[in-house]
């Protein structure tokens, strides 16, 4: 049911990458994840088909995934070592290269929407902690009680991580999963946009900021090249400016989207993770170097899918 369009549209989204194999996810959990990914995809696609902007679409898709307790962002955020929640998010518009982001916010139901307000109304690009929450109140956002972010499953992950004295597991100690969510999209006006949101890593040190709220690291969009949202070991993405590196390989190196995205994930990135990206022609790339990545994509070129595990 692809609409006849003069100009391409496309969207790709993710719900985190990690040790995702058929042996580790039972059928009923798999169905839940697939249903959630499909719903987020349909939401974004319908907005793009109706002539909506890629910026609105990636915000709406990311909000939708934030509201879903299955994913480590918004509602389903993991716990820090202090038993608190600290969420990071960013959004970027490829038309003018504007960006907005928030880091280490604790009482914001939809961090990605606060990131958009930072972009459009604060004069800043990145606000953190109490300052970000004060800005939210100025914008009329009512703080969310911390119990909204409580889920028994995440609390159990924290207890497990504490017992093992480690950081970074999302699901359980046998199943490392980097549970960021995000989306990249191309709209009919030719504008690219990307957004990313995360609860970070279970048992992380309070104040730790990963790549998700950093333009160029976890999120990047530039109308001349691509829009990118990343997920994985945040420190690795920060060190190599992963999202910007995909764009730079296209802009300066003449690479196509698939080659640029795959090179960054498989040869440049000094760690584990994946990304979703779309380019101005509507091409989609979804490389990862983990066992799997929760992902969904659709393009007016005809490609369409929801997937969790690796190919083959």
Catalytic (active-site) positions: 180
Is 136 a residue that touches a second copy (CB under 8 A)? no
Contacts with a second copy in 1-30 (CB under 8 A)? none
Is 248 a residue that touches a second copy (CB under 8 A)? yes
Beta strands at 219-221 and 273-279: parallel, antiparallel or unpaired: unpaired
Shortest approach of a second copy to residue 249 CB, angstroms? 6
Residue 124 CA: distances (Å) to CA of 65, 118, 135: 25, 6, 11
Helix (H) or strand (E) holding 26: none
Task: State how far the Cα of 27 lies from the Cα of 36, in Å rounded to an integer.
Answer: 14
Helix (H) or strand (E) holding 218: none
Of the candidate spans 44-52, 54-62, 107-115, 120-128, the one that interacts with a second copy by CB under 8 A turns out to be 120-128
Task: State how far the Cα of 178 lies from the Cα of 197, in Å rounded to an integer.
Answer: 12
Is 208 a residue that touches a second copy (CB under 8 A)? yes
Of the candidate spans 51-59, 234-242, 288-296, 297-305, the one that interacts with a second copy by CB under 8 A turns out to be 234-242
77-106 mask for a second copy (x: CB under 8 A)? --------------------xxx---xx--
The pair of structure tokens assigned to 56 is: 């609105």
70, burial (CB in 10 Å: exposed 0-12, middle 13-18, buried 19+): buried
Q: Please say whether the beta carbons of 105 and 113 come within 8 A.
A: no
Is 128 a residue that touches a second copy (CB under 8 A)? yes
In Å, how far from its chain's centre is CA 39?
16
Nearer to a second copy, 124 or 141 (CB): 124
Is 129 a residue that touches a second copy (CB under 8 A)? yes
Nearer to a second copy, 176 or 245 (CB): 245
Is 123 a residue that touches a second copy (CB under 8 A)? yes
* Size, binding site for a second copy by CB under 8 A: 44
Shortest approach of a second copy to residue 30 CB, angstroms? 32
Nearer to a second copy, 98 or 289 (CB): 98
Task: State how far the Cα of 74 lies from the Cα of 88, in Å rounded to an integer.
Answer: 9
Contacts with a second copy in 258-297 (CB under 8 A)? 270
Shortest approach of a second copy to residue 167 CB, angstroms? 7
- Which residues have CB under 8 Å from 149's CB, separation 6+? 74, 75, 77, 85, 199
Shortest approach of a second copy to residue 135 CB, angstroms? 7
Of the candidate spans 6-14, 123-131, 170-178, 300-308, the one that interacts with a second copy by CB under 8 A turns out to be 123-131
* Residue located via tokens 């300052």: 131
Residue 13 CA: distances (Å) to CA of 6, 16, 65, 297: 23, 9, 10, 6
- CB neighbours of residue 174 within 10 Å: 9
168-207 mask for a second copy (x: CB under 8 A)? -------------------------------------xxx
Shortest approach of a second copy to residue 96 CB, angstroms? 8
* Nearest CA among 103, 106, 109, 40 for reference residue 79: 106
Work out the end-to-end distance of the chain between its first and last CA atoms, rounded to an integer number of angstroms: 27
Is 142 a residue that touches a second copy (CB under 8 A)? no
Name the residues that contact a second copy, by CB under 8 A: 97-99, 103-104, 122-132, 134-135, 167, 205-210, 214-217, 220, 234-235, 238-241, 244-245, 248-249, 251-253, 270
């Amino acid at each position: 049911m692809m609409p006849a369009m003069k100009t391409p549209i496309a969207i790709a989204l993710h719900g985190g990458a990690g040790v995702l194999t058929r042996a580790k996810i039972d059928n009923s959990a798999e169905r839940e994840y697939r249903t959630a990914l499909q719903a987020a995809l349909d939401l974004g696609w319908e907005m793009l088909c109706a002539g909506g902007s890629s910026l609105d679409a990636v915000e709406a898709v990311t909000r939708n995934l934030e509201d879903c307790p299955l994913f480590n962002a918004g509602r389903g955020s993991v716990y820090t070592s202090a038993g608190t929640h600290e969420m990071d998010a960013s959004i970027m518009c490829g038309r003018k290269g504007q960006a907005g982001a928030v880091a280490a916010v604790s009482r914001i139901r939809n961090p990605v929407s606060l990131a958009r307000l930072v972009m459009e109304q604060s004069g800043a690009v990145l606000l953190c902690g109490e300052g970000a929450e004060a800005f939210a109140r100025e914008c009329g956002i009512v703080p969310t009680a911390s119990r909204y972010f409580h889920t028994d499953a995440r609390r159990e992950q924290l207890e497990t991580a504490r017992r093992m004295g480690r950081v970074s597991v999302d699901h359980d100690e046998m199943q490392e999963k980097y549970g960021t969510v995000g989306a990249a999209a191309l709209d009919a006006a030719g504008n690219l946009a990307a957004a990313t949101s995360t609860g970070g890593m279970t048992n992380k040190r309070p104040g730790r900021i990963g790549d998700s709220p950093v333009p160029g690291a976890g999120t990047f969009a530039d109308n001349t090249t691509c829009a990118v949202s990343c997920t994985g070991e945040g420190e690795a993405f920060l060190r190599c400016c992963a999202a910007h590196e995909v764009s730079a390989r296209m802009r300066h190196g003449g690479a196509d989207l698939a080659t640029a995205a795959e090179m960054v994930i498989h040869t440049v990135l000094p760690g584990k993770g994946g990304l979703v990206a779309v380019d101005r022609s509507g091409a989609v790339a979804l490389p990862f170097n983990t066992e799997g990545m929760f992902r969904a994509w659709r393009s007016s070129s005809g490609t369409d899918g929801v997937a969790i595990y690796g190919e083959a």
